[in-house]
Structure 1
Amino acid sequence: MQRSPEEIRHSLELARRDLARSLEELRAKTVELSDWRLQFRRHRRAALIGAVAAGFVLGGGLAALTNWIAGRR
């Protein structure tokens, strides 16, 4: 069965509306996910644990570098 031109136009219009709605949802989600302040508020504990871990890694790296430099003298 072949569709009429009007049915095809209607189908295309529905597809355009659906695509526009999906695109708007994607934009909103992108803005939400890229808002670091919002993400920090939502995941405060994980952010603090990550900051502490990074501090230990950087502190240990600096201590090792200092010891290595001191050992070369």
Structure 2
Amino acid sequence: MPAPARTPEQIRASIEANRKELGASLESLRDQVEELTDWRKQLAAKQREAIIAAAVTGFVLGGGVAAVGGILFGRKRRKKRRR
């Protein structure tokens, strides 16, 4: 059974309704993208975690540099002591 034929006015009304719905969906998507990509807002919301992460990263990097320095320069000192 074929679908009932629509009048040109019904088709235009349907197109207009779809256009408005698409516009609203696009606006909603734009708002969501803006919210998700706002790194300042994300950082403000997770400020405590960011500070902890920065402190741990600094500790690890500082310790890593100190460890490499100890390995490189400590060997020379140990060799001199053994002689």
Common fold, TM-score beyond 0.5?
A: yes
Alignment TM class, shorter chain as reference: 0.5 to 0.7
Question: Higher RCO, 1 or 2 (CA under 8 Å, sep at least 6)?
Answer: 1
Identity over the aligned pairs, expressed in percent? 48
TM-score in terms of structure 1 length = 0.68
Per the alignment, residue 45 of structure 1 pairs with 48
Per the alignment, residue 69 of structure 2 pairs with 66
What residue ranges of structure 2 are gaps of 5+ in the alignment? 77-83
Deviating above 3 A after TM superposition, structure 1's stretches of 4 or more consecutive aligned residues are: none
TM-score in terms of structure 2 length = 0.63
Alignment deviations for residues 36-69 of structure 1 (CA, whole Å, 9 cap, x no partner): 2221221112212221222233223322332343
What residue ranges of structure 1 are gaps of 5+ in the alignment? none
Greater gyration radius = 2
